[in-house]
Amino acid sequence: MAYARFLKSDIYVIMSSGGFLYCVTCSLIDDMNGAGYSAHNTQDMIDHIKQHENAGHRVPENIYEELLKDDAENFPNQNTQNTQPSPTPPPPLTE
């Protein structure tokens, strides 16, 4: 699933089948091989895209909404972890 393509914006963000968001050939990363930026949660990619905006790059207006909308789908394991209460609480002390 692609969130931003070079045609409409200066960045190209996809959801990788490897389970992370990927900023393809990221222009913020100074790498001859055209390395991209990997984000392992939605907020991380949002922060990254804001860095692009700050650098004056064009990003799709609705990209943040789109990312947040798909957050649960893109990172199901993370979200279940976040919403689950901490593991078995210690038994109450009896005196």
Residues that bind Zn ion (CB under 5 A): 23, 26, 28, 37
The CA distance from 72 to 29, in Å, is 28
> Hey, is 31 helix, strand or coil?
coil
Q: How far is the CB of 46 from Zn ion (least distance, A)?
A: 12
Nearer to Zn ion, 14 or 71 (CB): 14
CA distances from 46 to 22, 36, 71, 94 (A): 11, 15, 11, 48
Nearer to Zn ion, 15 or 26 (CB): 26
> Hey, is 41 helix, strand or coil?
coil
Nearer to Zn ion, 37 or 75 (CB): 37
Q: How far is the CB of 72 from Zn ion (least distance, A)?
A: 23
What distance separates the 2 farthest-apart alpha carbons in the chain?
Answer: 69
Q: How far is the CB of 87 from Zn ion (least distance, A)?
A: 36
